[in-house]
Amino acid sequence: MAIAIMCSGGDAAGMNPAIKKFVDYVFKIGQEPYFIYDGLEGMIEGKIERATHEDVAGIVHLGGTILRSSRSKRFFEFEFRKKAFENLEKHNIDSLVVLGGDGSFRAMHQFYKDFSVPFVGIPATIDNDINATQYCLGVDTALNVIRDALDKIRDTASSFNRAFLVEVMGRDCGYLALMSAITSGAEICVIPEMEFKKQEHTARLRHEIKEGRRYILAVVSEGTKRSREVFDWLQDDVGIETRISILGHIQRGGNPTVQDRMMAYEFVITALNHLSVKKESAVMVGYKDGDFKLVDIEEVVSKPYEIPQKLLDDIKYLD
């Protein structure tokens, strides 16, 4: 059996450890490993090569993905999916492991319906916004990058009477902002999932400044599209000089943390153990309550991810 691995959508730290474990484990179970470069676009263009141990030597500590990635509008047209399938057939590839997010799994779900090529999805996105899993590859590394930035920004904020607004990634999900705000001791957190009670925060912060507060740290999720509004509010309503920092794609990079490396290994082993015995399937490896479970891809893409209420409730402790 020949099994290929590919990355799709945004890159995430943890992809390279997953790729290395994939090659090592596929050889261990007596199968043939293949790489698909450049994601869905690479599958359409036939960028497929047999993988070796040499290809993955020394990549565990690297961020990003040696396979590169892409987003593909063409893949949602049947003629290009058919071309991708024909390219897999040329190499006798009969199953896939796909590192990606919600959009990638929707694309592969349709591919499976068309051509019945078994695949296992591994959730890999720093946004942590995939249904049916509590954790996605890359999240811990991204959170540590944000933590480091917030700690440094707080250092300079405490030297002046200023507010610092930091915008973090997450697309339409506020998970990164929420977790970062809680663990950095931020005074303000603005996320799509919760109402921002501006009046209440204005009164609180004015009182705290009067009582001696010298600086404010605000974390805003990009999905709210409210960074400018919060900036103006801090300056005009709260009455404190404000600076804004947009962390941007720095959050995608960096050496994978120990947690992301270990999670990558477990995700891949679970995926390959399943493919070695289950020839027909379209599933994702989910992580829940300390265990790795296979979830039908239909369930994964049927509804959006929701941040656990317990974490949302923790915002109140910022007040």
Selected catalytic residue, list 11, 38, 102, 127: 127
The pTM (predicted TM-score) of the whole model is: 0.95
Distances (CA, A) of 280 to 103, 186, 277, 288: 21, 48, 9, 24
Same domain (yes/no): 154, 227: yes
pLDDT beyond 90 at 279: no
Tokens for 155, please give them: 């250092």
Active-site residue 38, yes or no?
no
Number of H helices, E strands in the chain: 12, 11
Confidence of residue 277 (pLDDT cuts 50, 70, 90): confident
Q: Of 312, 11, 310, 305, which is closest to residue 181 (Cα–Cα)?
A: 312
Query: Do 271 and 207 share a structural domain?
Result: no
- Considering the domain architecture, whether residues 94 and 124 belong to the same structural domain is answered as yes
pLDDT tens digits, 17-26: 999 999 999 9
Residue 309, CB-side half-sphere exposure with 13 Å CA sphere = 0
The token duo for 9 is: 């959508």
Note whether residue 312 is domain-resident: no
CA 319 to chain centre: 28
The CATH number covering residue 268 comes to 3.40.50.450
Task: State whether 24 and 148 are in the same domain.
Answer: no
Positive or negative torsion for Cα 179, 294, 270, 272? negative
CATH of the domain at 197: 3.40.50.460
Q: Is 180 found in the same domain as 41?
A: no
What pLDDT does 315 receive?
84
CA nearest neighbour of 137 among 18, 297, 226, 274: 18
Q: Looking at the structure, do residues 154 and 51 belong to the same domain, yes or no? A: no
| Max Cα-Cα span within the chain | 72
Residue where a domain stops, chosen among 226, 252, 278: 252
Average pLDDT of the segment spanning 241-251: 96
| Residue 116 structural domain | 2-138+256-303
Please tell me whether residues 297 and 170 are part of one structural domain. no
Q: Output the average pLDDT for the chain.
A: 96
Number of domains in the chain: 2
Do 106 and 10 fall within a single domain? yes
